[in-house]
Structure 1
Amino acid sequence: MTTPYEARKERKRGLMEQAENLQKVLDTLKFRLLVNQGEVKKATKRTEVENALLYELVLGQHLAHASMQAALTGHAQRSLNRLQPVQSVICLGTSLAERANTLMTLKDRQLDNAERYLAARSRALDLRSSYCHEERFDSCEDNYSVVRFETVPVRGANVKDVFEAMLGSVLNSEIFLSEIFGCVAVREDSDFETSEFAQLRLVTATSTGTTVESNTVVFSRFVDDGDDGKGSYGVLASDFVDVDALYPYRIGERVRRDGTTIVLVRELQPTSGKVPEVVVTRWTQLKLHRSTAIVSHNPDTELKESAICYGDTAKTFIQQQLVNATTTDDFP
């Protein structure tokens, strides 16, 4: 026997179904009326116009962005022979004491400028995600240049280990280049390799048959839990020697390769209970000089086999030193 409550419930359900059906019929009648009055066509046209305007707006934003990129790229191409970030004109004489004083004078300025530039360059980026931007140029002097900026997060390692791995790859680049590419890379004797700075004179016989030489000074600094709230971080700056009275460039026998690289290694504060991450930020410019005496057969290959900071060359060796580290992407 059906109770009064069940009867009312069943009647309510039936009325709701009728209401839904009536609403569908009403919507159909409204649509037919709009069709008869031509309103559907008008609404469609209005939507088409709105979509066209929206498309033009989005396209205009893309074109404005492309124009900005073109302006920046054009400026970069025209400025290849000007001083780049943290690049200095380095001239070393014959006196060992004078050479050491010149480099000591440069150290703090180079490292401070490197830290400031990389902080500014990466300010708007999500440092927990990998990012890389690379440009390649042939200058009006027919020199070949590669400019690269990147940020790479690293998990599972501390700041000091990552920084020492990065510094070690630079200071021992002749070993790494020979191992990974099978080329003959030789580090010629230099006068300095201290905790303050190092001079690296490298000669590489590449697989293309070209001999590439470079003369680079490297400055580094590691700050352990600084008082400025930054925590522990390391900064590295390397720059090429413009003129060396003791070891002049042998432009009639070798291809000259200039390189300027700055690196900042710092710890990111953990969020939402996640483990701390270390982020490596790097900017580098490499330039291969072309001359009538020495013909460059393949500038990309010659840069790759003569510079540890070219592309991802150092990645393999740094990962070997950070066995327990897990990277979110290719390490620099």
Structure 2
Amino acid sequence: MDAFHDTKANAYQQPQHALMVVDNRQLQVWNGPNWSPHHATTWADSVVGQYTPATRSPSSSASSPQEPERTKRKRVFKKRKATHTIRKEQKTVLEKEIDALQAKLEDIKFQALVQHGEAPKSYHDQAVENAVLRESIQDQHLVMAQMRALLSGHTQHQMSGVRPMETKICLSADRVERRTVLHALRATKLREANRFLQARCCGIKQTTPYFQEERYETAEGDFCITRFEIIPLHGVKGGIRAVFDAVLQAAFNVEIIISETSGNITVREDDDMNDDCVSQMRLVSETDRGVLLENNLVHFVEYSRGESEQNGKRCFAVTATDFVDKDALYPYRPLERVRRDATGAMVVSYVDSAKKNEKTEEDPVIVITRWSCARIRHTGLNISHEAMLDIRNSAIRSQGTFLNCVRQTLGLPVNPT
């Protein structure tokens, strides 16, 4: 065996009783009878070769002063959040989303309840609720304004046609035939007047005063005044009959009333005053500026006693007024006079007092429901603008004069016109 094999064999032997430090490792070296320093060195080199990488030479194991020492780069690790912290943050975000969705849901519920009129005060504070309700009310006012505009436009453009309760009346020169024609129209005119006023005052509280008036000019140049009013009369002695008699008295003395209130001299051309159910009023007035106005009206009346006439509770009275279209006995004179037509209806009835109870006896409330439409026809006469304004203002004042005469006859306060 040569020296190489001998050295290798000695290197793999397990030395006894000897220690040796090689490359910072504590090694046990053989300390037998044949031990020598040469054997220890050879054995240590062989062992160090086993623990040294194959690519590293013995010379590279020692640090060289020419090679710079390698600096080890420290790895930075990001601090990881705890699981309970992450879940807590997620819970906070979800709770905020739930609160926002809940508030939105409450708003939707409140809007729905407001539309159905069932919104309780527990949904929002008073300020928010008032704002929502105010906006809803304003929207309703806008809708009502649009409806009124449509009705007013319809009235203004269609007034040249047939007006409410208007009937074409043509009278001949024969007085018997004239009376026959008017009596034949009486039942129809009174029925239409009663039905129209019942529909017009539907939904309106009749124990409180109500007044509405419209003034406009039609496409043909006619000036119209439409008026509707509800007048409760408290403390009337005599009931419906007393009010009805006052209405008849004002109708029969209409020329005197016009002369006293307007200052215009008014005369009555007809002399048919014998019939209490139907009467004709042919009136001619002269203004301060010398303009002549003419009316040709027919007045229909009815008084129903009902089951009991005590306090007027079962009684009512109806009147209807319409103009004559053609009259052979009293023809219109468009070349001399301005024509003024009128259509109207009035119902006098009893209404239970709102203050009435079992302990107190309240006086019966007599209610006058009246609708009228006066029209001043367009004329081709040479009349100044100021004179036409006087005629229009006189027509406006005369609308309230009639009822003031009724009040005066009953001993009630007179309203300013």
Measure how far apart 1:313 and its partner are: 1.1
Measure how far apart 1:294 and its partner are: 4.6
**Aligned twin of 1:256:** 339
Q: Which has the higher strand share?
A: 1
Which of 400, 404, 411 does residue 312 from structure 1 map onto? 400
**Aligned twin of 2:363:** 275
**Aligned twin of 1:11:** none
Contact 2:304-2:316 at 8 Å conserved across structures: yes
Deviations 1:63-113 (A, max 9, x none): 001011111111111221222222100111222222111101100100111
CA spacing shift, 1:190–1:179, aligned 2, 3 Å = same
**Aligned twin of 1:80:** 159
TM-score of the aligned structures, taking structure 1 as reference length: 0.78
**Aligned twin of 2:178:** 99
Which of 101, 114, 129 does residue 193 from structure 2 map onto? 114
Which of 145, 148, 161 does residue 227 from structure 2 map onto? 148
SS at match of 1:314: helix
For residues 1-332 of structure 1, the aligned pairs below 5 Å read 53-157=132-236, 158-191=239-272, 193-226=274-307, 231-270=314-353, 271-272=356-357, 273=360, 274-295=362-383, 297-299=386-388, 301-303=390-392, 305=394, 310-323=398-411, 325=412, 330=415
Q: In 2, Cα distance between the equivalents of 1:164 and 1:303?
A: 30
Specify which structure has the bigger relative contact order, considering alpha-carbon pairs within 8 angstroms and separated by 6 or more residues.
1
**Aligned twin of 1:16:** none
The one-letter code sitting in structure 1 at the alignment partner of 2:402 is A
Unaligned runs of 5+ in 2: 1-99, 104-123
TM-score of the aligned structures, taking structure 2 as reference length: 0.63
**Which segments of structure 1 move beyond 6 Å, counting only runs of 4 or more?**
46-49
Q: In 2, Cα distance between the equivalents of 1:331 and 1:267?
A: 25
SS at match of 1:311: helix
Q: In 1, Cα distance between the equivalents of 2:204 and 2:171?
A: 38
Q: In 2, Cα distance between the equivalents of 1:252 and 1:173?
A: 25
Deviations 1:240-277 (A, max 9, x none): 00111221110011000000111101111342232211
Q: Which structure's CA Rg is the greater one?
A: 2
Contact 1:183-1:305 at 8 Å conserved across structures: no
Contact 1:86-1:114 at 8 Å conserved across structures: yes
CA spacing shift, 1:127–1:300, aligned 2, 3 Å = farther
Measure how far apart 1:304 and its partner are: 5.5
Measure how far apart 1:239 and its partner are: 0.4
Measure how far apart 1:315 and its partner are: 3.6
CA spacing shift, 1:154–1:301, aligned 2, 3 Å = farther
SS at match of 2:401: coil
Q: In 1, Cα distance between the equivalents of 2:380 and 2:314?
A: 51
Identity of aligned residues (%): 34
Unaligned runs of 5+ in 1: 1-38
| Superposition RMSD in Å | 2.8
Deviations 1:143-177 (A, max 9, x none): 10000000000012121111211222122110111
SS at match of 1:78: helix
Q: In 2, Cα distance between the equivalents of 1:207 and 1:196?
A: 35
